[in-house]
Amino acid sequence: MKAKAKEIPVIVTTIHRGVFFGYTTNTDGDIIKLSRARMCVYWSADMRGIFGLAEKGPSATCRISPAADVELRGITAVIKPTPQAVEAWERSPWK
């Protein structure tokens, strides 16, 4: 019996300027399936860009969507977030 692949947390950007956080078992190819994905609708200046979202995770002034399973196309980057960032994404700040 084949062992189930372990999901890893990732941040994925797309050609349409989408920024998503979620979990996947495969980052190869033109399509990435994310489970429990959250979209960054807005990030504040304190993030200092996408890499800030990967290093620290979204702050209370960011706008992060609820989670959903999604299939992303037009991938431009796959970024490995820090454990601190994963915790912040999971809190899903949006006031």
Residues 29-78 have pLDDT tens digits of 889 999 999 999 999 999 999 999 999 999 999 999 999 999 999 999 99
Contacts for 5 with CB less than 8 Å, ≥ 6 apart: 25, 26
Distance CA 18, CA 39 (A): 7
Locate tokens 């002034």: which residue?
61
- The arithmetic mean of pLDDT across residues 9-24, rounded, is 96
Q: Residue 1: what pLDDT?
A: 60
Contacts 24+ apart (CB under 8 A), 43-47: 43/19
Eight-state DSSP code of residue 44: -
pLDDT at 95 over 70: no
Residue 49, burial from CB neighbour count under 10 angstroms (0-12, 13-18, 19+) = exposed
